[in-house]
Amino acid sequence: MLIVSLLNKLLEGGKTMYSQGTGKRCKTIYAAGMLLLILLASSCSPELPDYDIYATMRQYAQQKLAESGATARPDFPAKFSDEYIINLVSVNPLFAVVFGGSELEVHLASYESAAIAVSSLSQFEVPPGSENFTDFAFVVRPAASLRAPFVHGDALKGMAGSDSSFSMDFYNINREAIDYETFFGDQVAKLDEAMALVAPYQRQGEDRGKYTKHLVEYKSPYRIEIDESYIPEGTDRKVYYDDVLAAYKLFMDAYFTSLERLQPDNDTALVEGTKQGTDAFIQTLYEEDTAVSLGRQLFGDDIDTYFLDGFWRDGYYGQGL
């Protein structure tokens, strides 16, 4: 996805430089052309197995939500209730190269409960009906009356030469009222176990957090941010995928166990602080996140319906709040 963004910048640069001199324009177009050739070559390479991890992650999230009593949202956008297919060639032919198909189907589902203001699960499938999922994005945003962080993550399949990756974190949008140790309690042991599993694959140095600098103030000490390029030499890829899935399940188990034992607290400072923090967090993502930048190209005029109304349920904070 970042490769597509770079290609677009290069091509736009070629247009801009056209008026500044033929030499510069040719160099820019040459660079863009070379990058396109790399994309085309990599897209023809044999696809490595993902061991159905994206479908399995979604199914596990659905299981946890069902066990917690969450049900489908009554206000979910109708546009995403039925088949939603994007013609990638029409949007930008480069997307067809990156995703490896001409059409992409968007699967979006969203849930609520007394404790959960919104929990959304999103996946892209290329081509439609193939069960070839390129990602899994998810969020659980509790009601503002609960002293609990969000859980949010994104698993991405390696495409067009990029590595598969996975990030997951417990974002705290009201640090004056929400404390990680208090919230998780005895479930911290599961978080520590998960962190130990993915420790060999965690991004390091400048790689860590380079795409999420705008979220630094919200991040937790239990952040998973890994990609396949960090697999130690001699380690089987299947071990990596097994560890990722196990860590994800441990995080989800710890989070839902902790959330389910909370009681609502209608303290004004808590509720108002969480509302304001939620608004600021979503607005920051909307304005600065690279995934939203890509989404604007994919969804066009439907980006607000998908991102704000569908995935994040912007402006809603829980039943009666």
pLDDT digits (tens, 9 = 90+) for 82-100: 999 999 999 999 899 889 8
User: Which fold, 48-311?
Assistant: oxygen-dependent coproporphyrinogen oxidase (3.40.1500)
Question: Per-residue pLDDT for 156 more than 80?
Answer: yes
Q: What would the pLDDT profile of 258-285 be if each residue is shown by its tens digit?
A: 999 999 998 999 999 999 999 999 999 9
85 forms beta bridges with 105
pLDDT of 25 higher than 60: no
DSSP letter string over 1-32?
-HHHHHHHHHHHHHHHHTTT-HHHHHHHHHHH
Domain parsing of the chain, residue ranges = 1-46, 48-311
Preceding omega of 127 cis (within 30 degrees of 0):
yes
Angle at 284 between CA 281 and CA 288, to 5 degrees: 150
Burial of 106 (0-12, 13-18, 19+ CB in 10 A): buried
Q: Which helix (H) or strand (E) holds 141?
A: strand 135-142
For position 159, what pLDDT does the model report?
Answer: 82
Q: For position 115, what pLDDT does the model report? A: 98
Please report which confidence band the pLDDT of residue 149 belongs to, taking 50, 70 and 90 as the band edges.
very high
Concatenating the DSSP letter of every residue in 267-306 gives -HHHHHHHHHHHHHHHHHHHHH-HHHHHHHHHHGGGHHII
| Through-space distance between the first and last CA atoms of the chain, rounded to whole angstroms | 37
